[in-house]
Amino acid sequence: LEASPTFALDSKANEIDIELKKQGDYVVRFGIGQPDFNTPENIKEAGKRAIDENKTKYTPAAGIGELKEAIVNKFKKDNGLEYEPANIMAGIGAKQVLDTIMRAFINPGDGVLVPKPYWVSYTQQVVLSDGVPLEVDFKDDLKIDVDNLKKVISEFNAPIKLIIINSPNNPTGAVYLKEELEEIAQICLDNGIYIIADEVYEKFIYGDISHHSIAGFSQELKDLTITVNAVSKTYAMTGWRIGYCAADKAIIKQMSKIQGQSPSNPCSIAQWAAIEAMEGDQGSVELMRNEYEKRRNYVYDRLKSIDGIECGLPEGAFYAFPKVSGLYNDRVKTSDDFSGQLLEEGRVAVVPGSAFGDDRYVRISYAASMDKIVDGMDRIEKFCKGL
């Protein structure tokens, strides 16, 4: 099992940061993927109220009824999906929900399709469940290469249980169009492959494109899809650890059994805060989205202006995924070299593309204040010019 490279990088950045702070400098942190905003006040108040009202006991393993109702309403309002509470499971962040899906589906040796570039935990969660991660190539637009997908499916000679589709995407910022999702979904239908639709960044989309939920395309696809989401990114609640999913009742029943044995319910207080997040005022989400859009535009313009870097316009999430291999030389030969030296010399933390399955790229998280972004992009430009 591999350690999470984003956490490893962040702790190295932290060490260097502590040293630099003694000299009045600091590391610009574009590594970790979490909102720089604080959890909105109304949500924090709901958490405090839950403590004062002693809502601090064990809850049903898959979440309290009130939370499941709030999630049912969310899917209906935001995604046009009709579910009942028995279709819902809440867990300790989207990460733990994803892990529970893997455990519920995978027998030793089963395949799980993981399109590259992938969020770092997908492949390792498959490995933890004794499955085989089947990497799928991507095209220049950073989206799934459908021909390669078909090839990987036809060449694997054990059952393929799942595919993970993440749109808006971490690490690329790509957002899939409806027809692109439909094409992939049809291949899954034809091959009986269940779809994990990881939609944790659905609210952060820029320009005039839209988010589409595969489960909404047809009843057949609704039956085949497990839609995963969380309050973590949408409401700047990464530390509260509430994620959830919607799926066929039989799937949720099996997942809830696993949840009941390990690890039991997600934090009771955080569940009440998550209800307020989903049912309370949504103004903070649009404020954050607007801010991310400004930052996205700025980062993209700056990256485009650096000789040797290629970068498409990220349409969602809060990441840019520039191709930096055009700058590789005798000293900097890999994305690990690039990000390592950028950290040591340029004092900017970015995640090497190797962590996501492609060594030509690095990931920049622009979930940082505009001041830091301007400073960080100046530093990146200077570093690149010196290569």
Given 144, 193, 230, 343, the residue binding ligand PLP (CB under 6 A): 230
Strand partners, 228: 198, 245
Q: Name the residue nearer to ligand PLP (CB basis): 166 or 339.
A: 166
Query: Which residue bears the tokens 């809850």?
Result: 59
Q: Name the residue nearer to ligand PLP (CB basis): 94 or 384.
A: 94
Q: Name the residue nearer to ligand PLP (CB basis): 94 or 162.
A: 94
Beta strands in 261-320 (DSSP E): 319-320
Q: Name the residue nearer to ligand PLP (CB basis): 325 or 354.
A: 354
Distance of CA 380 to the CA centre of its chain: 24
Q: How far apart are CA 46 and CA 269, in angstroms?
A: 8
Residue 33 found at the interface with ligand PLP (CB under 6 A)? yes
Given 62, 200, 275, 384, the residue binding ligand PLP (CB under 6 A): 200
In Å, how far are 173, 210, 225 from 206, measured between CA atoms? 10, 9, 25
From 15-23, 49-57, 90-98, 270-278, span contacting ligand PLP (CB under 6 A): 90-98
Given 198, 202, 276, 315, the residue binding ligand PLP (CB under 6 A): 198
Given 42, 148, 191, 238, the residue binding ligand PLP (CB under 6 A): 238
Record the tokens describing residue 98, joined without a space.
């994803």
Given 63, 243, 346, 352, the residue binding ligand PLP (CB under 6 A): 243
Residue 124 found at the interface with ligand PLP (CB under 6 A)? no
CB of 374 to ligand PLP, least distance (A): 25
Residue 35 found at the interface with ligand PLP (CB under 6 A)? no
In Å, how far are 36, 99, 210, 355 from 3, measured between CA atoms? 24, 16, 34, 10
Cβ-proximal residue to ligand PLP, closest one: 93
Residue 95 found at the interface with ligand PLP (CB under 6 A)? yes
CB of 6 to ligand PLP, least distance (A): 8
If binding means CB under 6 A, how many residues of this protein chain bind ligand PLP?
A: 13
From 72-80, 92-100, 263-271, 369-377, span contacting ligand PLP (CB under 6 A): 92-100
Residue 232 found at the interface with ligand PLP (CB under 6 A)? yes
Pair 95, 74: CB distance under 8 Å: no
Residue 316 found at the interface with ligand PLP (CB under 6 A)? no
Record the tokens describing residue 246, joined without a space.
């919607």
Instruction: Give the 3-state secondary structure of residue 114.
Output: strand
Closest CA to 313 of 366, 237, 372, 351: 366
Pair 161, 105: CB distance under 8 Å: yes
Cα 46–Cα 64–Cα 35 angle in degrees, nearest 5: 50
Cβ neighbour number for residue 367 with a 10 Å cutoff: 23
Cα 124–Cα 125–Cα 131 angle in degrees, nearest 5: 90
Residue 167 found at the interface with ligand PLP (CB under 6 A)? no
Q: How far apart are CA 195 and CA 353, in angstroms?
A: 25
Residue 166 found at the interface with ligand PLP (CB under 6 A)? yes
Q: Which residues bind ligand PLP (CB under 6 A)?
A: 33, 93-95, 119, 166, 170, 198, 200, 230, 232, 238, 243
